[in-house]
């Protein structure tokens, strides 16, 4: 099976709140191994931290923060957003209005725009995800999506990559930028410095560094005139029947 090393996609801080925790090892870890170890790593990190939420973080009073979430220095979480289920927000992350972040890792200075939902997803440093983006983590082909059993599999140039879990959204590399109204996952690895245009739907594959992914846009839409019915003018007193 081909390899997907997190260090080929993400830059993970080795200092600050995550110093001395298993998260320091992320860049040396293979994706499938990380997905297996993730919950245990997070429990160990929580046990070693003096506080879960850094004193300099700004959390809006209407935001909901889970009891097992780690939030770093100068993080901002805006109105009506939810961060839960063992998520990690590294320093200077911004989570916009009405977002939902579930079991996800956001690298330093990552920005989530408004109304974004990400699940079981790793986001690199300086990534910028625009409004109305969703990252799904469960295959709709599972018999019961509330209890999924279908393993997430990615297509790579070297063959199929098996994630070993039915719950994985995306690996989004450093400095990735997206437009709005985008659907990603389940099962996606976006290389560093990729650009994803508005309206794209993308899943179950790897995308190399510096790629640009687009979808048909209004500038490419064909416009034609409808046939005109011939007959007497309405202005002349006729009625359309």
**For residue 212, which of 195, 231, 188 has the smallest C-alpha distance?**
195
pLDDT at 217: 65
pLDDT at 226: 65
User: Could you write out the DSSP letters of every residue in 30-51?
Assistant: BHHHHHHHHHHHHHHHHHH-S-
More confident residue, 224 or 107: 107
| Range with lowest mean pLDDT among 6-15, 91-100, 129-138 | 6-15
Sign of the four-CA dihedral 17, 68, 183, 148? positive
* 240 pLDDT tier (thresholds 50, 70, 90): very low
Q: Is residue 17 classed as helix, strand or coil in its secondary structure?
A: helix
More confident residue, 219 or 100: 100
- SS3 for 93-126, per residue? CEECCCCEEECCEECCCCEECCCCEEECCEECCC
- Mean pLDDT for 28-41 is 97
Rg (CA), the chain: 22
Residue 3: CA atoms inside 13 Å, Cβ hemisphere, count?
8
| Range with lowest mean pLDDT among 13-17, 72-76, 195-199 | 13-17
pLDDT at 37: 97
The predicted-structure confidence for 222-237, as pLDDT tens digits, reads as follows: 656 667 776 554 444 5
Q: Where are the domains of the chain?
A: 6-220
The predicted-structure confidence for 62-83, as pLDDT tens digits, reads as follows: 999 999 999 999 999 999 999 9
DSSP 16: G
DSSP 139: -
Sign of the four-CA dihedral 88, 112, 91, 22? positive
* Distance between CA atoms of residues 202 and 206, nearest Å: 10
Asked if the model's pLDDT at residue 221 lies above 90, the reply is no
Indicate the average pLDDT of the chain: 91
pLDDT at 143: 85
pLDDT at 241: 44
pTM of the predicted protein model: 0.89
The predicted-structure confidence for 142-190, as pLDDT tens digits, reads as follows: 888 888 899 999 999 999 999 999 999 999 999 999 999 999 999 999 9
Asked if the model's pLDDT at residue 200 lies above 90, the reply is yes
pLDDT at 122: 98
- Give me the CATH topology for the region 6-220: UDP N-Acetylglucosamine Acyltransferase; domain 1 (2.160.10)
* Distance between CA atoms of residues 134 and 201, nearest Å: 10
* Distance between CA atoms of residues 69 and 108, nearest Å: 16
pLDDT at 72: 96
* 127 pLDDT tier (thresholds 50, 70, 90): very high
pLDDT at 232: 54
**For residue 187, which of 174, 173, 203, 165 has the smallest C-alpha distance?**
203
* Distance between CA atoms of residues 112 and 99, nearest Å: 8
């Amino acid at each position: 099976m081909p390899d997907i090393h997190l260090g080929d996609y993400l830059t993970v801080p080795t200092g600050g709140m995550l110093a001395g925790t298993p998260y320091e090892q992320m860049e040396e870890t293979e994706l499938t191994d990380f997905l297996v170890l993730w919950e245990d790593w997070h429990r160990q990190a929580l046990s070693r931290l003096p506080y879960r939420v850094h004193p300099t973080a700004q959390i809006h009073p209407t935001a909901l923060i889970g009891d097992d979430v780690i939030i770093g220095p100068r993080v901002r979480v805006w109105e009506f957003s939810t961060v839960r289920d063992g998520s990690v927000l590294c320093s200077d992350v911004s989570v916009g209005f009405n977002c939902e972040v579930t079991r996800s890792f956001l690298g330093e200075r990552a920005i989530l725009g408004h109304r974004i939902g990400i699940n079981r997803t790793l986001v690199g440093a300086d990534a910028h995800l625009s409004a109305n983006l969703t990252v799904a983590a469960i295959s709709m082909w599972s018999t019961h999506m509330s209890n999924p059993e279908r393993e997430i599999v990615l297509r790579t140039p070297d063959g199929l990559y098996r994630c070993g879990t039915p719950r994985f959204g995306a690996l989004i590399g450093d400095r990735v930028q997206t437009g709005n109204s985008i659907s990603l996952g389940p099962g996606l690895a976006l290389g560093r410095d990729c650009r994803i245009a508005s309206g794209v739907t993308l899943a179950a594959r790897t995308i190399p560094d510096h790629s640009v992914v687009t979808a048909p846009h209004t500038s490419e839409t064909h416009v034609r005139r409808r046939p005109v019915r011939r007959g007497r003018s309405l202005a002349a007193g006729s009625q359309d029947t």
